[in-house]
Amino acid sequence: MAEKVALITGGTRGIGRAIARGLGRDHHLIIGGSNPDRVQEAVETLTQAGASASGWTADLRKVESIESDVADLGLKRLDVLVHSAGAAWLQPAAEATPDQWQEMFSVNLFAVAELTRVTLPLLRESAGQVISINSGSGFVARVNSAMYSGSKFALRAFTDSLREEERGKVRVTSIHPGRVDTDMQVDLQKQSGSTDYDGSIYVSPQSIAETVRTAVDLDPASTVEELVIRPVAQKR
């Protein structure tokens, strides 16, 4: 097992999967996901590629279960915590139900806060790092994005505060991608009525992963606090 340990939520696909590949060179990977089959497939693929990896199946909508789910891992060390899991869909504010608000905020904010709280003691011991994959929607709210942008604005506030509280003990990085070529982006474009999806004009998951790798590799006296990554071609 590699000396350093990285826990990546949403590590079975998209941005999280790319981040796992990038960190797998010198970290033991704990791949988090809600679907046990996809978690197992990701672990097997990464292991076959030469990485050290294990799985963590957890439903981040059930925030009250996160502490016991983490305890089941029996972690002795944690160097990097990557919050890559997220929920995203478009919904007019006038039609959004309380249950939809709850689910969006549970996955995008409450689970992040709870998982961070539970793992902070280990991250402090290793002088580790929390990396939050936020969104451009953490700065700008558009039509039908009240729930999503609201959760991402709140996530930015959480990481900003955490960064100051843990300064000198744990590095906290917030990355805000624009549109990224992922399955989630395909779904969002369909919801917005687009019929001409072209992933080549969007940011690649690999680009986000390379940015995460850069943040992890900085010397201990330096940190990437906040970074926005957007496609060169802007499609509205």
Residue 14 backbone zone (phi > 0: left; psi -120 to 50: alpha; other: beta): left
Cα–Cα distances (Å) from 57 to 10, 115, 148, 210, in that order, read: 10, 13, 24, 25
| DSSP-assigned beta bridge partners for residue 175 | 133, 227
What residue ranges in the chain does DSSP mark as E strands?
Answer: 4-9, 27-33, 52-57, 80-83, 129-133, 171-177, 226-229
148 is catalytic: yes
d(CA 153, CA 219): 29
For residues 231 and 217, is the Cβ–Cβ distance under 8 A? no
d(CA 63, CA 110): 7
- Catalytic residue from among 148, 153, 158, 202: 148
In this structure, how many other beta carbons lie within 10 angstroms of the beta carbon of residue 80?
A: 25
Closest among 70, 27, 69 to 52, alpha carbons compared: 27
d(CA 79, CA 5): 5
Contacts of residue 42, Cβ cutoff 8 Å, sequence gap at least 6: 11, 12, 13, 17, 20, 31, 33, 53, 55
List, by residue number, the catalytic residues.
Answer: 148
